[in-house]
Structure 1
Amino acid sequence: MTYVYNSERTFKDETIDGLVAAYRRYQRRVPGTAAVISNAAPAPGRVSTIVGGGSGHYPSFAGLVGPGFADAAVCGDVFTSPSAEQVHRTIRAVDGGAGVVMLFGNYAGDVMHFGLAADQARAQQGIDARIVLVTDDVASAPPERAADRRGIAGDFFVFRAAASAAHRGDKLDDVERIARHCNDRTFSIGVAFDGLTVPGRDEPLFTVDPATMVLGLGIHGEPGIKTMPRADARSLAGVLVERLLAERPAGASRARILVNGLGRVKYEELFILYLSAAALLHDAGVELTEPEIGEFVTSLDMGGCSITLVWTDDELESLLSAPAATPGYVRPGPVPDLDGEPRPLGATAAAVTQAPPPVDEARLTPDGRTARRVLAAVAERLQELEGELGDLDAVAADGDHGTTMTRGMDAALVAAGRAGPDAAAVLTAAGMAFADAAGGASGALWGSGLTEVADALREAPGGEPRAVTLARGLERARDSVIRLGGSVPGDKTLVDALDPFVTRFAAAATAGNRTAAAWTEAATAATRAAQETAHLRARRELAARLADRSVGTRDPGAVSLAASMEAAAQALRAEQTGSAGSAGSAGSASSAGSASSAGAAGSEGSA
C-alpha cells in the first residue's frame, strides 16, 4: 500500500513538486500544468520530445526528463492520462520551432488526449506535433495485431532512442522514424506475484494466490492473462524468454535487455532473474550488449517484474548509449546544458491566468441556475458511488473510475460556480474543467459531451422548446462520444447507457413532454441498460483484454452515466416543483462558488 501521502487528490501534484524541488539541476515545472520540462529545453531549432501518461510509474514519466533525455513529461493522476489541455500547454512550452514528437503507451485515454492536443497545436500555433505509440507488451495482443498492444517497460527504450536522436540534431521526420523503428523492435513480457493498492484505497486492485504467479500483467495494475504455479528464477526466466524469442525479428542476433521491477521486487531479485535470462539468451545465439536492471516503469507497489528486449542495429546502439542526466536515469558522459540556466519557455507558451471570481446565482438566468444545480446533484451522487465504481472498474481494468469521475465532477462544479449567465456558459465551463481534471478516457468523453450540449443550447433558435433543444444537444454529445471513444452499443462501455438515454429522451421530447418528465423517462432507460451490461463481454481497451472476467459485472462507465442521469432527473423535478431543499440545490450549489441559491425558477425555461 501507499504509506506516505497527504491526500489521494493531491498525490500527483505533491509528487511533482517534491521531484522538482529535489532535482532542480535537471528540470522544473511547466507553469499551470502537471508537467515538468528539462532545463535544456526548449532548444531553438531542435526537435523536442514529450513523454507522458498516468502517475504511479516512476521514474516514468517525469523522472526521465532532463538534459540528454526527454524534454518534457505530462503527468496524469494515478493510472489516468493527462488531459488534452495539459498536453497542449506543454507542447507550447517545449516547442523550439522544429516540431515535437510525443511518445506514450497505447492506452485509450492517452491516445485521445494527446491526439486532441496535437490537433490544437497544429491548428492554433502551427506546431508540427507528431505521435508515436509504444506497443511492446506481447501478452496484450497477438503478433498479427501488434499495433493494438499496450506499452509497458519498453517505453524506456523508445523514449531514449527518440530523445537521443533529437538531442544530436536530427530532423523531425528522422526522430519520428527512429522512434517507430525502435518500437517495432522492442518486446516485453511481465509477471505478477501480487497486486497493488492505489492511494486512498484499503484493498489491492487484485490479489494473487501465494502459490501462483500471473503472466501478462499491465502497468496500470490490470490482472494478467494466465495463472501459473510459482516458479524459481530459472524457470521464470525460461517462461519469459521463450515468449520474447518467439517474437525475434528475422536475422536479429544482437539485443539489449531491460529487467524491470514493478515496485516490490527487489534489485537483488532482478539480478538473479537477469543471470538466468542472459544465460538462456546466450544459448539462443543472442549477443547481449548493455543491460539495464532496476526500476524503470513501475506500478506503485505491485509485486511483479518484466523483461524487455530491444533488437538493436548500429544506429540504435549508438542512440541508446548517449549520455543523459535525469532524476531517474543517468548515463555517464558529457551532457550538454547540464548545469546551465534553464532555457526560456517556448514562444507560444500559454500564460498562467488566475481563475475568475465566483458568479452569484442572482446574476444567472433561470436555466443557468438549473444547470448549476443539476451538476451539483450529479457530483453529490458520484461522491456516494466513488468506492463502488472503483470496485466495478477493478474487476477487469485499473480500478480508478470512481476517483476519476469524482475528481472531474468536483472540478466541473467549481468551474460552473465561476461561469454564467446562462446554461450554455455554465456547461461549457464545466465540460472543459471536467476534461482537464479527470483526464483519461472518461475526461475526454464527458468533457466533449457537456460542451456539445452547451453548444446546442447556445445555437438554439428562439422560441424552440427547451426539451427539443436538449434532445439535439444530447444526440450531438452521443455522436461525439462514439467518435472519440470508438465504442458502439454492445461494447460494454458508457455508450450502452448513453445511447438508450438519448434515444428515449429524444422520443419523449418530440412527443411534447417537458424536460423534467422526458429526462426522468430517459434516466430510467439508462439505468435499466446499465444493469444489463453485466451480461456483456467487454470489447474495448483494458477490460477487453480480460473480457471473460467482465461477464457478470456491470460496466462502471455505464453505471456512473446512468446514476448521473438519475441524479439530474431528481434535480430537474425539484426545480420544476420549486423544491429548493432537494438534492443538489442550496448546499451543493454553494460549493461550486455560488453565494446564493435564491430565486430558482420552476418554469419550462429552467426545467
Structure 2
Amino acid sequence: MTRLWNDPASFADDMVEGFVRANGRWVRRVSGGVSRSTRSPEPEVAVVIGGGSGHYPAFGGLVGPGLAHGAAMGNLFASPSAHQVESVIRSSEQGRGVLLSFGNYAGDVLHFGAAQEALRQDGVDCRTVVVTDDIFSAPQSQKARRRGIAGDLTVFKAAGAAAAAGSGIDDVERAAVLANARTRSMGVAFTGCTLPGAEEPLFTVPEGKMAVGLGIHGEPGIDITDIPSADGLAELFVDRLLDAAEVPEGATIKGGRVVPILNGLGSVKNEELYVVYARIADLLTEAGLTLVDPRVGEFCTSFDMAGVSLTLLWLDEELERLWLAPADTPAFAAGSVDSSALEAVTMDGGYGGDGEWGEEAELPASSEESRKAAGVISQALAVMRDAIDAQAAELGRIDAIAGDGDHGIGMQRGTVAAAEAAMALGGQGAGAESLLTRCGDAWSDRAGGTSGALWGLILKTVGSHLGDTSPATAATLAAGISAAKTAVMDYGKAKVGDKTMVDALVPFADTLAARVTAGESLAEAWRKAASAAATAAEATADLMPGMGRARSHGAKSLGTPDPGAVSLALIAERIHTVIAASVTPIPSI
C-alpha cells in the first residue's frame, strides 16, 4: 500500500513540486505539469507527452534533451484536463510544430484532442500519435483500440530523437507512428495498487494467482492463472509476443533485431526482474533475434502494484538509430548528450498560470434574474458534491469490477472543485452562464479523466443556453440539457447501449424536454426525468460495454451497472430536491 502523503487530494501536486525541486537540471514547473528547463540552440519540434500521475517515471521523468519537451501530468490515474495540456504545450512549443503522444485511454484522447484543436485554431501545427502497444486489450484486428502501457517509452523516444536531430513535424510524426506500429507489450500483476488514503486496492488478485493482461490504471487482468516460476513467466511473455499474429508487418523473427524492455510496475524488485530477464534473453536469442540495448527496471509503473510487463520494439535501421540516439532525462539516459550548448529557459508559470477558477476575475454583466438562477445552481452543485461524497466508495467499487476503480474519486474531485468555484463566483455577482462555465472548467481541471471532460462539457453547454442576462426558464434549461446530451455524444462518440453515462443522460434529457414542452412545472418534469435516468442506469447492468476501459473486460461487467450512468442518475435525483425547494418560481429557476 501507499504509506506517505499529506492530504490525499493534493498528493499529485505535492509530488510534482518535489519532483521539480529535485530535478531542476531537466525540468521546470508550469501550469498543468512540467516543461524543459533548457532548450537547444536551434528550435525543435516540441514532443509533449502525458497522462495521469502514479506511473513514474512516466511522464515527467521522461522530459529532457533527446526525449520529451514537456509532460502534462493529471491527477492520480486521471488524464490531465484540456486546459492543463494546452498550458504545457504553450510552455514547450518553439515555433516548429508540436507532436502529442500518450496512451490510448478515453480521457486522454478527449483532453489532448481538445487541447490540440485549441492550438490548431491559433495556427500551431499540432499532431497526435496515440500509443497502442498492449496486445491483451484488444485483438489484432482491432489494434487501433488497444491501450498504451510501457510501450509509451519507445514511441516517445523515437519522436524525441527525431526532434533533437532537427527533423520537421512530418518526420517526427512518422517516426512516432513507426515506433508504435513496431511495439508490442503485455503485463501481469500479482497484487493490485492502492491510491494514497484509500483503504483498499483498486483490484485484488486471489492469493497464489496472477492477473494476465492488466492495465496500468488498476484495470483488472483479462485472465487469472497460477503464478508461474520466473522462467515460466518469461516463457509466457515470449510465447505471446512472438506469436505470428503479433510480429509487426515488415519484421521477421529469424535475423530480426529487438529492444526488450522488462518493466516493473511498482513493487517488484529489480533483482526479481533480472531473474526473469535471464530466461527472456535466452528465449529471444534462441528464436533467432538479436537483442539491442536491453532495458530492465521501472519505466511505467502503477503506484505500488506488484506486476511486470515486457515490451518488444522491433527495429529497422531508422528506429535503431533513433533508439540509440543520446537522451538525458531524470529517469532515462542513452549515449552522451552535449549539454554545453543548452540554453536555460527563463520564462516561468506557463500558459494560464496556476490560479483557482473561483478567484476574483472580471465577469460579464449579468441581470438580477440570472444572478438568482446562479444562486440556485450553486445550491445544486453543493448537493451534487454531498451526494457524490456519500457514494464515492460504492461508485469506485462498481467501477473496479471491469474498470480502474477511480470513478468515485474522480467525481469527488470534480464536484468539490465545481462547488467551491460556485461559492466564490456567486459572491462576485456571476450570472448563470459565467458561473456554469467556470465551474465546468474547475471540474474538468480538478477531476481530469473522461468524466471530468464530459461533466465540464455538460456544465458549459447548459450555461451557454442560460446566458448571463436572460431569465433562466424551464424551456431554456431543458434546451441546454438537450444540447449537452448531443455535445457529450459527439465528443465522446458513445451512443445508447454502449454502457456509459450516455445511457442515463439521453432518457433524462429527452424526458425533461418532453415534459417541459407538455407544460409541466420544472420540478415535476425534472422528477420524471430523474426517474427515467435512474431506471436506465440500473438497466446498464445487462449491457456489454462498447466504450471505455470496461470494454476490454467484456462479460466481467455483466450484472453491474455503469458507474458513469449511476452517478448521473444520482446527481439528477439530488438536484430535484433543490429545484422543488427553490423559492424562485418558474419560469425562472
Normalised-by-shorter TM-score class: over 0.9
Aligned pair partner of 1:70 in 49, 52, 68: 68
Residue correspondence of structure 1 range 436-585 to structure 2 within 5 A: 436-458=445-467, 466-575=473-582, 578=583
Aligned to 1:47: 45
Q: Is the aligned partner of 1:603 residue 2:585?
A: yes
Q: Which residue identity lines up with residue 57 of structure 2 in the other structure?
A: P
Aligned pair partner of 1:373 in 362, 379, 399: 379
* Residues 57 and 300, structure 1, Cα contact 8 Å, conserved in 2: yes
My pick for the range that moved more, 428-437 or 50-59, is 428-437
Q: Is the aligned partner of 1:331 residue 2:345?
A: no
Q: Is the aligned partner of 1:130 residue 2:137?
A: no
RMSD of Structure 2 on Structure 1 (CA): 2.2
Q: Is the aligned partner of 1:267 residue 2:270?
A: yes
Q: Is the aligned partner of 1:396 residue 2:402?
A: yes
Aligned to 1:141: 138
The alignment of Structure 1 onto Structure 2 pairs a total of residues equal to 576
Residue correspondence of structure 1 range 270-309 to structure 2 within 5 A: 270-309=273-312
* Secondary structure class of the residue paired with 1:546: helix
Equivalents in 1 of 2:178, 2:348: separation in Å? 30
Aligned to 1:21: 21
Equivalents in 2 of 1:7, 1:547: separation in Å? 36
My pick for the range that moved more, 517-526 or 205-214, is 205-214
* Residues 185 and 310, structure 1, Cα contact 8 Å, conserved in 2: yes
Please state how far the C-alpha of 1:165 moved relative to its aligned partner. Answer: 0.8
Aligned to 1:6: 6
Q: Which residue identity lines up with residue 14 of structure 2 in the other structure?
A: E
Equivalents in 2 of 1:251, 1:296: separation in Å? 25
The 1:372–1:606 alpha-carbon spacing in structure 2 relative to 1, beyond 3 Å, is farther
Please state how far the C-alpha of 1:334 moved relative to its aligned partner. Answer: 2.8
* Residues 116 and 127, structure 2, Cα contact 8 Å, conserved in 1: yes
Q: Which residue identity lines up with residue 434 of structure 2 in the other structure?
A: A
Residue correspondence of structure 1 range 308-323 to structure 2 within 5 A: 308-323=311-326
Instruction: For structure 2, list consecutive stretches of 5 or more residues without a partner in the other structure.
Output: none
* Residues 161 and 179, structure 1, Cα contact 8 Å, conserved in 2: yes
Aligned to 2:163: 166
Aligned to 1:193: 190
Equivalents in 2 of 1:189, 1:356: separation in Å? 45
The 1:337–1:474 alpha-carbon spacing in structure 2 relative to 1, beyond 3 Å, is farther
Please state how far the C-alpha of 1:307 moved relative to its aligned partner. Answer: 0.6
Q: Which residue identity lines up with residue 255 of structure 1 in the other structure?
A: V
Equivalents in 2 of 1:223, 1:417: separation in Å? 39
Equivalents in 2 of 1:428, 1:16: separation in Å? 27
The 1:439–1:2 alpha-carbon spacing in structure 2 relative to 1, beyond 3 Å, is same
Residue correspondence of structure 1 range 218-257 to structure 2 within 5 A: 218-246=215-243, 247-249=246-248, 250-252=250-252, 253-257=256-260
* Secondary structure class of the residue paired with 2:344: coil
* Residues 154 and 187, structure 1, Cα contact 8 Å, conserved in 2: yes
Equivalents in 2 of 1:504, 1:286: separation in Å? 61
Aligned to 1:427: 436
Q: Which residue identity lines up with residue 227 of structure 1 in the other structure?
A: I
The 1:180–1:572 alpha-carbon spacing in structure 2 relative to 1, beyond 3 Å, is same
Please state how far the C-alpha of 1:39 moved relative to its aligned partner. Answer: 1.5
My pick for the range that moved more, 475-484 or 364-373, is 364-373
The 1:42–1:334 alpha-carbon spacing in structure 2 relative to 1, beyond 3 Å, is closer
Q: Is the aligned partner of 1:181 residue 2:178?
A: yes
Instruction: For structure 1, list consecutive stretches of 5 or more residues without a partner in the other structure.
Output: 579-601
Q: Which residue identity lines up with residue 441 of structure 2 in the other structure?
A: M
Please state how far the C-alpha of 1:365 moved relative to its aligned partner. Answer: 2.6
Please state how far the C-alpha of 1:410 moved relative to its aligned partner. Answer: 1.3
Query: TM-score, normalized by length of structure 1?
Result: 0.91
Please state how far the C-alpha of 1:95 moved relative to its aligned partner. Answer: 1.1
* Residues 25 and 338, structure 1, Cα contact 8 Å, conserved in 2: no
Please state how far the C-alpha of 1:541 moved relative to its aligned partner. Answer: 2.0
Please state how far the C-alpha of 1:373 moved relative to its aligned partner. Answer: 0.9
Partner deviation per Cα, 1:84-104 (whole Å, 9 max, x = no partner) = 000111111111000010110
Equivalents in 2 of 1:25, 1:3: separation in Å? 28
Equivalents in 1 of 2:372, 2:506: separation in Å? 28
Equivalents in 1 of 2:479, 2:11: separation in Å? 40
Equivalents in 1 of 2:40, 2:106: separation in Å? 28
Partner deviation per Cα, 1:61-89 (whole Å, 9 max, x = no partner) = 01111222211000111111000000111
Aligned pair partner of 1:407 in 398, 413, 417: 413
The 1:42–1:385 alpha-carbon spacing in structure 2 relative to 1, beyond 3 Å, is farther
The 1:374–1:471 alpha-carbon spacing in structure 2 relative to 1, beyond 3 Å, is same
The 1:541–1:43 alpha-carbon spacing in structure 2 relative to 1, beyond 3 Å, is farther
* Residues 40 and 337, structure 1, Cα contact 8 Å, conserved in 2: no
* Residues 368 and 606, structure 1, Cα contact 8 Å, conserved in 2: no
* Secondary structure class of the residue paired with 1:63: helix
* Secondary structure class of the residue paired with 1:74: strand
